[in-house]
Amino acid sequence: MGVDLGHPATLNDVAREAGVSLATASRVLNGSSRRVAEAYRERVEAAARSLGYSANLSAQATARGTSATLALLVADIADPYFSQIARGAARAADEQRLVMTIGVTDRDPTREERLVRTLRGLRPRGIILAASRGVGGESASSAEALREVEAGGGTVVALGRPLPGVAARTVGVDNHGGGSLLGSEMAAAGYRDALLVGGPEGLVTSDDRLVGFEEGFAGGGGSVSRIVRGDLNRDAAYAVMERALADGVEPGTLVVAATDVMAVGVSSAIRDAGRRVGDDIAVAGFGGLAAGRDSVPALTTVVAPLEDLGAAAVAAVLADEWPAAPDLLPMAPQIRASTPRR
């Protein structure tokens, strides 16, 4: 049973109950980077629980300039790509005693700006921008809002390329390299004709993957006959593949989608047209989503270490220094039954 002080417990009350100095109690409960002996940490945490102590986050934010929170902005939380990134980031944030909030931008610059300005009032330790962007896709007003976060002591981290006009740190995966490896392996497996299903032209992640694939495929003797585009979701991919099938897709063609979610839509369109995925029309995607293993046939994909990417983004927020061009996390093809050898 907790101790009843007759008033909300203060940090002084916790320090007195634990028999430690106020500075030691503060280091334990306020997330200081200075290490505290484990015995003292346990005493302070036990005293805080007994007294029902709750840190005043607003006061901490005022004193430090930032709060013990960080924000992750994604395009679509229902997309498994973003949920895996969020999982890795949340785990890393928890290890650092940070609270992570998530905002959904729908790739709308106006919505993103509104979210950033709202989050700025919380004085977050950092903002992680996870949604893929088009080349030059950062609006001037959104960039200004992000600069204001930086001016207030927060750190902005972008997944992928740097943001023009913002001193953002970056982390990323090697989309181009992963695409090139897939192209080489598919050419070695006997494929010679490929149809690419990409996101809107200029969307960096999609373009990097498909350009890399085309280069690797051409190096092995293959060629890309068509590129069709739609939004990065299942239904859009289904629609563009349906139109491509109506125009004619020869047996033995390899269809490569920019994401595994799009590859699911592509596969459904092929089956609904009375064609077979695999020995008739082969299908591959990007991302390495777990559900791809349970598809029939199992989906060939380029595995991206998405949880590691989320954790790396948190590390970039917290690091005292960060390289201007950090190493990209590698991607690796996972060949499955949806792309049998020709």
CATH of 66-173+307-318, one of 3.40.50.2300, 1.10.1040.10, 3.40.50.300, 1.10.3720.10: 3.40.50.2300
Say whether 288 sits in a helix, a strand or coil.
coil
Whether 66-173+307-318 shares its CATH topology with 175-304 is answered yes
End-to-end CA distance of the chain: 70
The answer to whether the CB of 227 falls within 8 A of the CB of 49 is no
Say whether 73 sits in a helix, a strand or coil.
strand
Angle value at C-alpha 129, between 123 and 130, nearest 5 degrees = 140
Tell whether omega for the bond before 330 is within 30 degrees of 0, i.e. cis. no
Report the candidate in 80, 132, 130, 135 with the shortest Cα–Cα distance to residue 100: 130
The C-alpha atoms of residue 172 and residue 304 are separated, in whole angstroms, by 10
The C-alpha atoms of residue 210 and residue 249 are separated, in whole angstroms, by 19
Backbone angles phi, psi at 142, to 5 degrees: -65, -40
Residue 4: per-residue pLDDT: 57
Domain covering 175-304: architecture: 3-Layer(aba) Sandwich (3.40)
The 10 Å Cβ neighbour count of residue 221 is 11
The C-alpha atoms of residue 179 and residue 175 are separated, in whole angstroms, by 6
Residue 63: per-residue pLDDT: 47
Which tokens sit at 22? 């106020």
Residue 55: per-residue pLDDT: 63
For helices 22-29 and 38-51, the axis angle rounded to 10 degrees is 80
Residue 142: per-residue pLDDT: 77
The answer to whether the CB of 312 falls within 8 A of the CB of 84 is no
The one-character DSSP state at 13 is H
Describe the strand order of the beta sheet including 282-287 as a list of residue ranges. Answer: 223-229, 193-198, 254-257, 282-287, 300-303, 332-334
Q: Residues of 284-312 as b/e, b for ≥16 C-beta within 10 angstroms?
A: bbbbbbeebeebebbbbbbbbbbbbbbbb
The answer to whether the CB of 42 falls within 8 A of the CB of 52 is no
The 10 Å Cβ neighbour count of residue 51 is 20
Domain limits, the chain: 11-55, 66-173+307-318, 175-304
From first to last of its 342 residues, the chain has per-residue pLDDT tens of 456 566 777 878 888 888 888 888 877 776 555 677 888 888 888 888 888 776 655 555 444 545 688 999 998 888 888 899 999 999 999 998 888 999 998 888 888 888 888 888 778 899 999 876 655 555 677 788 888 888 888 899 999 888 777 778 999 999 999 999 999 999 999 999 999 999 998 888 999 999 999 999 999 999 999 999 999 899 999 999 999 999 999 999 999 999 999 999 999 999 999 999 999 999 999 999 888 888 899 999 999 999 999 999 999 999 989 998 899 999 999 999 999 998
Say whether 308 sits in a helix, a strand or coil.
helix
The 10 Å Cβ neighbour count of residue 101 is 15
